[in-house]
Amino acid sequence: MFAILFWEDSTFSVVALSAILAPRKELNQYAVGDDVEANFQGKRYKAKIYEIGGKYLYIFPHSLFYSEFDYTTV
């Protein structure tokens, strides 16, 4: 499972729920709005859970891995 986290420096990123260090909960117990501490690029930061989803594409559909546009006609 993945989450969009809103970091203390006012940026967003997608991370696996397993990257959350505190508070430790079962994956299905995390909720939108929870204040957490998580690893990002090897460092520990404070963040707030902005959105949770089971698959990366469901919570971040406009990523580089998914496109709703057909570029073959451009």
What tens digit of pLDDT does each residue of 29-49 get?
999 999 999 988 888 999 999
The residue type of 60 is F
Q: CATH second-level architecture of 2-73?
A: Roll (3.10)
- Higher-pLDDT residue of 37, 61: 37
Note if the pTM is more than 0.75. no
Average pLDDT over residues 4-24: 91
Strand boundaries in the chain, DSSP class E: 2-7, 12-16, 20-22, 35-40, 43-53
